[in-house]
Amino acid sequence: MAIAGYVVGATKGFIYLRGEYKHLQEPLQRDIDTMRASGRLGTSIRGAPGFDFDVEIHMGAGGYVCGEGTAQVESLEGKPGRPRVRPPSMVSVGYLGKPTVVDNVETLAHCTEIAVDGGASFAKRGTKTSTGTKLVSVSGDCERPGVYEYQFGVTIGRILQDCGAPAAVTAVQIGGASGVLVTPDEFSRRIAFEDISTAGAFMIFGPDRDIFEVARNFAHFFAHESCGFCTPCRVGTAIQRNIMEKIAEGRGSNYEVNDLKRLAEFMKRTSHCGLGETAGNAVRDALNKFRPAFERRLRARDFAPAISLEAALEPARRITARDDADAHLDVEG
């Protein structure tokens, strides 16, 4: 980060640490203090006059959307994490209206690598269009979850093998909730910008996982994480969640399945930021690739109401003091 500061002429850097990682705050602060004490942060770094740079840890409250650069800067300024309207971009108008570089810690760490070993050495690893290495954060059904570093171009299958995933993996969600759901026939695909690009999340779903439940969980996640700024994401993610609940309760039909598809496309086209744009991806992928997981829950092919019509008639029966056959529906609605 100090190198990045030196290059762009910045003297102040922030590490935005989300609330979930509070346990990292203390060791991170210790490292920063050590660097300052050894002259690698502060004024005249390494004795170079004018090379002044310091780092402060800023704790976030834990909003998924604060991973988006402009929302993160809003949060850094003490405001709710809501993505800004772009343009202007962060490099012209960022933190407190000043030009700001927003990068992942991983990217900045690679800067050091390039600064020390040179670009040619860095470019030797990875593929032609995706040079270098990538940290992959493996979780889910496997023997050895954890953070792995691979050269770009690694196949999904290789990662599954290395982390001790079961032989019959149902699917892998790559890139987190906003990412893509990958099925076994795609395990020869590669982690790279030209194939599956990802910030690193790699969730493995073993043979006993029900992908409908996975998608339902993601639907709840997005309804919870939507910041509420724009209509399509604020309301759309809630509708998506409610439709998934309706199907889970055994009251769904093809109508809902089609509505989910329309909704995913709608949110993608109209949302304000990447969260809303990708909020329908997990459900859409699950629908496209695991349709039977949805279909076995559907009650009717065309349409089924969200409520029980038979039960809804109960107040009317009570008021009219009727309980004869004609006061009941033939079939449970």
Partner 1 sequence: MDNEFTIDEQPVPFVPGQTILEAAKAAGYYIPHLCFQPDFKRHGGCKLCTVLVNGRTQTACTHKAAVGQEVDVNTPELNAMRRSLVQMLFIEGNHFCPACEKSGACQLQALGYEYEMMSPHFVELYPHREVDATHPDVMIDFNRCILCELCVRASRDVDHKEIFAVAGRGLDAKLIINSPTGKLGDSAFAVADRAAQVCPVGAIVIKRVGFATAIGDRPYDREPISAEAESCELPEVR
Single residue of 5, 232, 252, 280 touching partner 1 by CB under 8 A: 232
Ranges assigned E (strand) in the chain: 12-17, 54-59, 133-140, 146-151, 171-174, 180-182, 201-205, 252-253, 298-300
Output the smallest distance, CB 309 to partner 1, in A.
15
Give the integer Cα–Cα distance in Å for 112 and 2.
9
Q: Of the listed pieces 130-138, 228-236, 293-301, 309-317, which binds partner 1 according to CB under 8 A?
A: 228-236
Q: Kindly tell me which of 141 and 277 has the beta carbon lying closer to partner 1.
A: 277
Assess whether the previous peptide bond of 305 is cis (omega < 30° from 0): no
- Structure tokens, 123: 């470019």
Q: Kindly tell me which of 187 and 221 has the beta carbon lying closer to partner 1.
A: 221
Q: Kindly tell me which of 68 and 225 has the beta carbon lying closer to partner 1.
A: 225
What is the chain's Cα-based Rg? Answer: 25
Helix (H) or strand (E) holding 312: helix 309-312
Taking CB under 8 A as the rule, does residue 236 contact partner 1?
yes
Taking CB under 8 A as the rule, does residue 178 contact partner 1?
no
Residues 262-281 that bind partner 1 (CB under 8 A): 266, 269-272
Q: Kindly tell me which of 131 and 237 has the beta carbon lying closer to partner 1.
A: 237
Helix/strand/coil (H, E, C) string of 53-101?
Answer: EEEEEEECCCCHHHHCHHHHHHHHCCCCCCCCCCCCCCCCCCHHHCCCC
Q: Of the listed pieces 114-122, 219-227, 295-303, 314-322, which binds partner 1 according to CB under 8 A?
A: 219-227
Q: Residues interacting with partner 1, by CB under 8 A?
A: 63, 80, 85, 87, 223-232, 234-239, 242, 266, 269-272, 306
